[in-house]
Structure 1
Amino acid sequence: MEATQILDVARDGILTMVIIAAPVLLAGLTVGLIISLFQTLTQIQEMTLVFVPKIIIVYMAVLILLPFMIQQLVELTERLMDLAISLP
């Protein structure tokens, strides 16, 4: 296996990781920002107010996006298996 192939595999792995994680992280970030804005506007300084909605939204995002995540992982695995089979 050449160095370029190793770099391609590493790049594909990192890109797949970003594609899988980004929607869930963005959902958590959006909810955190909205709740922080709400806390700032109403001057409620409760630290635990952020955690429950964030956990619920992240959990729901994972449930909704799970088929997409699995499909991305399957495609990465297929590419890696094709590469492994084509090696001399």
Structure 2
Amino acid sequence: MTGYDAMEIARSGLVLVLTIAGPLLITSLIVGVAVSLFQALTQVQEQTLTFVPKVMAMGVVLLLCLPMIGHAMSDFTLQISDRIIHGSR
């Protein structure tokens, strides 16, 4: 394995992590800002008000993104196993 191969695998791994975690993190950010804005406007300082909407929204996004996540992980696994079987290219 050359340095280029290692860098290519690392790059593919980072893209995979961003593909999996990106939608969840963006959803959490948007919901968090919306809830914080709501709390600031209404002066309601309830702790569960920040936690429950984030968990519910992230659960919905996770269910919607599961096919995309599975496809991305499958492609990465096939790429790695292909490199193992056929050696470096």
Deviations 1:23-45 (A, max 9, x none): 01111111111010000011111
Identity %: 36
TM-score for the superposition, normalised by structure 1:
0.93
Q: Aligned residue for 1:42?
A: 42
Deviation >3 Å, runs of 4+ = none
Which consecutive residues of structure 2, in runs of 5 or more, have no partner in the other structure? Answer: none
Q: Distance in 1 between matches of 2:75 and 2:12?
A: 10
Deviations 1:9-61 (A, max 9, x none): 01101111111110011111111110100000111112221101111111111
Q: Distance in 2 between matches of 1:85 and 1:79?
A: 10
TM-score for the superposition, normalised by structure 2:
0.92
Q: Distance in 2 between matches of 1:45 and 1:63?
A: 30
Q: Aligned residue for 2:22?
A: 22
CA RMSD across the alignment: 1.2
Q: Distance in 2 between matches of 1:28 and 1:68?
A: 18
Secondary structure of 2:45's aligned partner: coil
Q: Aligned residue for 1:72?
A: 72
Which consecutive residues of structure 1, in runs of 5 or more, have no partner in the other structure? Answer: none
Q: Distance in 1 between matches of 2:19 and 2:57?
A: 18
Read off the aligned partner of 1:56 and give its amino acid letter. M
